[in-house]
Each structure stands twice: as structure tokens, then as C-alpha cells.
Amino acid sequence: MIDHILISSKWRGSITNAIVYLNADVGSDHQLIAANIRLKLKAGAKRKAVERFDVQKLKDPEVAEQYSAGISKRLKLTLGSCSSETTVSVDEKWQQIARAFNETSKETLGTVKSRPERVWLSAATWRLVEERRELKPKNKESEANTKQYNYVCREIRRVKTTRIVT
């Protein structure tokens, strides 16, 4: 058997079971091996989603003008209050300016909705995978089957690399 599972000796005791899937279609002369690993992980801190403003709306001249007017008005108020108070620290000034930009952006531009998830494999790629799965048992029967199987494997790789590049 030429397929192995490599693991550091530090984690050797964590593997509880390993199994070989002989009928798995992996597009290779290797066999698929799966292992059960026992781990205890610490829970990570949950990240708060970053709120993104819809800056594409700034391409519209009316929205851009409204945004500029809102920023100007808020910055005048912020900078006016900063110049009258001499004890305001740099950090407080920065927070006031950032708040002015964020509030104006939220009111004028709004937030961007989350992007729709992209399809992992297209329907054409799934058809090629199914064809490869049907050809695999017949692969060694004749030279024509071997050529067809190899061609389908190359097509799947070509489609995957084309998708990654674009």
C-alpha cells in the first residue's frame, strides 16, 4: 500500500481509527484514507462582522453631493467644537472626526448586504465528475477507455484551474 497518513509524533496518540475507501473517486492512482482524530480545542473569540458602507452609491452625482454636504456640515461642527476647547486630546479629536464620517456614511450610503455565496462546482464540472466516476471501473479494460478516462481527468483539472484563475 503506497498511501499513508503523516502525523507528528506529538499527535500520534490522537488518532483513534484509520480507514481506506477503495471505491472513492479521487482522480488518482492513490486511495482515499480517512482518520478519526480526537482533539480538544479551545473556543476562539467570536469576531463581529465589519459594517461596510455602500460606496458604489457615490457614483451617482446626487448621492455624492448629498454625502459631501453632510460631511462638510458635520466636520464644521466637529472642528468648531475642537478649536473652542483647548483641552481636547488628539485621540478625542480623531474619534469625533471618525464618528462624523461613519454617521454620515450610514445615513447617506447605507450598508452593503453580504455577498451571495459562489457555487463551488458548476453543473458542467459535476457532469464531468460523474462521467469520470462511471469510467473508472472500465479504465483498465481497453486502451480507448483509458484514453477517455485520462481526457476527462484532464478536463476536470482544466476547469478547476480556469475557475481559480478567474
In this structure, what C-alpha cell is assigned to residue 125? 464540472
- E strands, 87-164, are none
Dump pLDDT digits (tens) for 27-67.
777 888 889 999 888 888 888 878 888 888 889 999 999 99
CA 112 to each of CA 4, 99, 115, 158, 160: distance values in angstroms, whole numbers, following the listed order: 46, 19, 8, 34, 30
Q: Is this prediction's pTM over 0.75?
A: no
Residues in the chain: 166
CA atoms within 13 A on the CB side of 53: 13
Beta carbons within 8 Å of 104's beta carbon, 6+ residues apart: 67, 70, 71, 74
**Mean pLDDT for each consecutive 10-residue tract of the chain (166 residues)?**
79 88 79 87 83 88 92 84 67 89 90 76 86 87 89 86 56
How far is residue 30's CA from residue 111's CA, in Å, rounded to a whole number? 48
- Helix, strand, coil % over all residues of the chain, rounded to 5: 55, 10, 35
